[in-house]
Amino acid sequence: AQTVTQSQPEMSVQEAETVTLSCTYDTSESDYYLFWYKQPPSRQMILVIRQEAYKQQNATENRFSVNFQKAAKSFSLKISDSQLGDAAMYFCAYRSARNTDKLIFGTGTRLQVFP
Amino acid sequence: NAGVTQTPKFRILKIGQSMTLQCTQDMNHNYMYWYRQDPGMGLKLIYYSVGAGITDKGEVPNGYNVSRSTTEDFPLRLELAAPSQTSVYFCASSYSAGVFNTGELFFGEGSRLTVL
């Protein structure tokens, strides 16, 4: 069974600085999707960025980028120029490309942003 | 541009009561899901549906039931509520058709349920 591990329960960053959130996963499959979701205090889960496993190029969305290391099964999220609005819970998630029924979540990392 | 809508947003139940969490989506997604989120934890899948008339259990289905009579609606029923069901519940949907699969789930805003 696939698992997703986020080893950092909490992280903090100064406004305008860069922070990296870690995620590792375990799977025997070769084709899958990885996601970072943001959950602000309003609770609604918002997709931040996604990565297809077959793509070697790391995904980027404005200030958010990932470091996808397929062999190491690592999928970290880098937030550049951090803003106060980035403060939230961040969840890493895995979804098989073949068995598309389920999204498997890590336990989350709470990010605090200090002015 | 409603997306995924859940009701109610908050509810307090007494032990043994029953209730239904409603979920509807207007994106014509074939897949729908119910997750629960306990404090300090990630989301755990309760039930999911790959289309109208088809439902299946996730990781933590005990104490819940679902139905999917239409593409749009996916209600979650709690029978005989227990304190262990105190949680935040999220409904989500996605679209998958053969090789076309963005993988992304779209979430509702969550329903906070407390069982006392």
Q: Answer with the residue of higher pLDDT: A108 or A42.
A: A108
8 Å CB contact of B104 and A35 = yes
Those of residues 7-46 in B touching chain A at CB distance below 8 A are 31, 33, 35, 40-45
Non-local CB neighbours of B93 within 8 Å, separated by 6+ positions: B4, B25, B27, B29, B31, B32, B33, B74, B105, B106
For residue B100, pLDDT beyond 70? no
8 Å CB contact of B109 and A43 = yes
pLDDT of residue B101: 61
Rounded to a whole number of angstroms, the distance from the CA of A10 to the nearest CA of chain B is: 11
pLDDT of residue A102: 77
The percent of residues in chain B predicted with pLDDT above 70, rounded, is 93
- In single-letter form, the type of residue at position A32 comes to Y
8 Å CB contact of A91 and B92 = no
Residue A108 has phi, psi (to 5 degrees) of 95, 155
pLDDT of residue A48: 95
Q: What integer is the mean pLDDT of A26-49?
A: 90
* A:B CB pairs within 8 Å: 59
CA dist A87 and A76 (Å) reads 17
For residue A100, pLDDT beyond 80? no
Nearest to A43 among B58, B96, B110 (CB): B110
pLDDT band at B42 (very low <50, low <70, confident <90, very high): confident
Q: What integer is the mean pLDDT of B43-70?
A: 94
For residue A1, pLDDT beyond 90? no
8 Å CB contact of A101 and B50 = yes
Q: What integer is the mean pLDDT of A67-76?
A: 96
Non-local CB neighbours of B98 within 8 Å, separated by 6+ positions: none
8 Å CB contact of B109 and A44 = yes
CB of B74 within 8 Å of a chain A CB? The answer is no
The two three-digit tokens of residue A9, written as one number: 């329960």
The candidate with the shortest Cα–Cα distance to A67, out of A109, A22, A4, is A22
